[in-house]
Amino acid sequence: QNGLPPAGGARAVAMGYAGVTFTDVNSVFSNQAGLAHMEDLAVTAYGEQRFLVSEIRSVGLGAALPTSSGVFGLSLHYFGFERYNEQRIGLAYGRKLLDKLSIGAQFLMLNTRIPEYGNRAVFTFEVGALAELLPQLNLGVHLFSPARIQLTEEDDIPTVLRLGVSYLPSDKLSLLAELEKDIDYEARARFGADYQIAEPLFLRLGVATQPAALSFGLGLALPNGLRLDVASSYHQVLGFTPAAGVVWGK
């Protein structure tokens, strides 16, 4: 898990883990260029339990603070259980270069802890860009750990490239498509949809390949700036991965 970008919150889980074009606080996890579009302080928290196995739970916390010099972000992520766990701390920054082009980056510390062997920490970074091609069409690109950095004696931190588009045919519907390529593995495709079925309620669906998985979820936007998200993905062999998250702020 360490060396792989975490999910961009429960909303991303519901949409096949697609999130490279997000422009809310969850972009601190998925593509830091999206932070540049934020205007107010926001925080997020989410968790998922992979395949309903308690030993492979994942929890993330994120925050974004807009300033006159750009938007600064903080991300914290935990994966594992008592006998083996991984922590990730990130400091992010995003800003607009042009009215329709933004960039972002995040510096990361990845720590692996095994009680019998202690801790091992390494450092890496990720970069991204987000562009508005047309009023309803956005393009996002994100590169995780461009340099091959050694994680253990046998493994390097994976270099992962993600390229995605989001199409907004109406104010109530968003369609996402993404390709992800780890340089050591086959490319993976992700597709997601987010539809506002009522004033506070959103329905989300997604599908991914390599391995094949389906996903679904709901989002509830409350008038006080709070958003609640629930989701699950389904692998035909390993089963369900439920997720839940909360976002405060815009």
Say if 1 falls within a structural domain. Answer: no
User: pLDDT-based confidence at 216, cuts 50/70/90?
Assistant: very high
Is residue 21 over pLDDT 90? yes
pTM of the model: 0.93
Alpha helices in 89-148 (DSSP H): none
Question: Is there a contact between 192 and 38 (Cβ–Cβ < 8 Å)?
Answer: no
161-190: average pLDDT: 96
Question: Is the confidence at residue 2, as pLDDT, over 60?
Answer: no
Q: What is the pLDDT of residue 115?
A: 84
Q: What is the pLDDT of residues 218-247, one digit of tens each?
A: 999 998 889 999 999 999 999 999 999 999
Percent of the chain clearing pLDDT 90 (strictly above): 80
For residue 212, what is the domain's CATH number? 2.40.160.60
Quick one: average pLDDT of 123-132? 97
Q: Is the pLDDT of residue 94 over 70?
A: yes
3-state helix, strand, coil in the chain (%, to 5): 10, 60, 30
pLDDT of amino acid 241: 95
In the prediction, which pLDDT does 3 show?
53
* pLDDT band, very low/low/confident/very high, at 1 (cuts 50, 70, 90): low
Mean pLDDT estimate for the chain: 93
Range of the domain at 78: 9-248
Domain membership of residue 2 (yes or no) is no
Which tens digit of pLDDT belongs to each residue from 100-118?
999 999 999 999 888 888 8
Q: How many domains does the chain have?
A: 1
For 121, list phi and psi in degrees, rounded to 5. -115, 140
Of residues 147 and 41, the one with the higher pLDDT is 41
Task: Note the pLDDT of residue 233.
Answer: 96
pLDDT of residue 156: 84
pLDDT for res 231? 98
Return the pLDDT at 30: 95
Query: From residue 112, how far is each of 32, 54, 80, 87 by CA, in Å?
Result: 24, 18, 10, 7
